[in-house]
Structure 1
Amino acid sequence: MVDIVFGFDFGVKRIGIAMGNTLTGQAQPLTVIKAIDNATRFRIIGELIEQWRPARLVVGEPRHPDGAEHEMTLRSRRFANQLHGRFNLPVELVDERYSSAVIPQKRGEIIDAKAAAIILQQYLDDHANIN
């Protein structure tokens, strides 16, 4: 069975979303949500979940290079908990601190979706036999 998996690069201004599947093990950018209010963000995410029917969700967990947590670590964790609570899907956190090395520092819509794809690809690579 092939499972669709969504990856999220959570940000205060934007949320990058990627999708991949367990058959090919490949992630690709999907979209970016620019809405600031949670109701709109979660409505859009709900529509994407309805359309693609992912089996699980993966959220990047940012940390300082030494592994220490910071404000965005806690915000990303809270976002992951909200995803699980609203959509009743398994949610996994992925350490994203090394993924930033391959992402240009200038943020933007395309970059956010690519960052989500890198986070999801890391998860798929680490869980190659999840089927």
Structure 2
Amino acid sequence: MRIMGLDFGTVTVGVAISDPMGLTAQGIETVHYVEHKKNLLFDRIGELIQQFDVESVVVGLPKDLIGTETERAIASRGFAKSIKRKFKIPVDLWDERLTTMAAERILIAADVSRKKRKKVIDKEAAVLILQSYLDKLRMEHRTND
């Protein structure tokens, strides 16, 4: 069972996919889009869902440091609803607080240049969103056993 993680931004969407056992997240790509041509974004997401045989999706939900949802959260909720409707698969929202900052730190520690970081930051944030979601699922599974 593969799960797709998405970091939905204003002009890019970071994409990550789990391994078939749902243990680890791998960054796939950063999809660039224009607001008035979102159909192209959904086309690409659909291709990736089919290519990787994705069974569910998790979309990052932006919140501020005290847990209040931001304006981007409203857009992310709408995006998640569209994915669920278009692809007929389960979609969860996941608190993505500080994932972009954490992704930035990881890339800096790996000595990735500022120019290259800008190109991959959303994909790395999607990895962090998906990995934390997978870890939660694993913890729940252990608790239920």
Compute the TM-score of the two structures, normalised by the length of structure 1. Answer: 0.90
**Residue 91 (structure 1) aligns with:** 91
Q: Over residues 49-77 of structure 1, what are the superposed CA-to-partner deviations in whole Å (9 max), with x where a residue is unaligned?
A: 11111110000000010011121010011
**Mapping 1:72-111, distance limit 5 Å:** 72-104=72-104, 108-111=118-121
Alpha-carbon contact 1:16-1:109 (below 8 Å) kept: no
Pick the aligned partner of 1:28 from 26, 29, 53.
Answer: 26
Distance 1:83 1:18 in 2: 15
1:122 aligned to 118, 128, 132, which one?
Answer: 132
How far, CA to CA, are the matches of 2:44 and 2:63 in structure 1?
27
Equivalent pair of 2:22/2:134 in contact (CA under 8 Å): no
Aligned-partner residue type, residue 17 of structure 2: M
| Identity percentage of aligned residues | 34
Tell me which structure has the larger Cα radius of gyration.
2
Where does the alignment leave 5 or more consecutive residues of structure 1 unmatched? none
Distance 1:65 1:47 in 2: 34
The CA distance in 2 between the partners of 1:9 and 1:31, in whole Å, is 11
Paired residue secondary structure (2:11)? coil
Which 4+ residue blocks in structure 1 deviate beyond 3 angstroms? Answer: none
Deviation by residue 1:23-43 (Cα, 9 ceiling, x = unmatched): 251001001111212110001
Which secondary structure does the structure 1 equivalent of 2:29 belong to? strand
**Unmatched runs of 5 consecutive residues or more in structure 2:** 106-113
Question: Structure 2 vs 1, CA of residues 35 and 100 (structure 1 numbering), >3 Å: closer, same or farther?
Answer: closer
Determine the structure 1 residue equivalent to 2:16.
18
Q: Does the 8 A contact of 2:2 with 2:54 survive in 1?
A: yes
How many Å separate the matches in 2 of 1:113 and 1:26? 14
Residues 72-131 of structure 1 show CA distances to partners (whole Å, capped at 9, x for unaligned) of 01001110000000000000111010423412287723111010000000000000139x
Alignment: residue pair count: 128
Equivalent residues of 1:25, 1:124 under 8 A apart: yes
Counterpart residue number, 2:111: none
The structure with the greater share of residues assigned to helix is 2
Q: Matched residue of 1:103: which SS?
A: helix
RMSD: 1.8
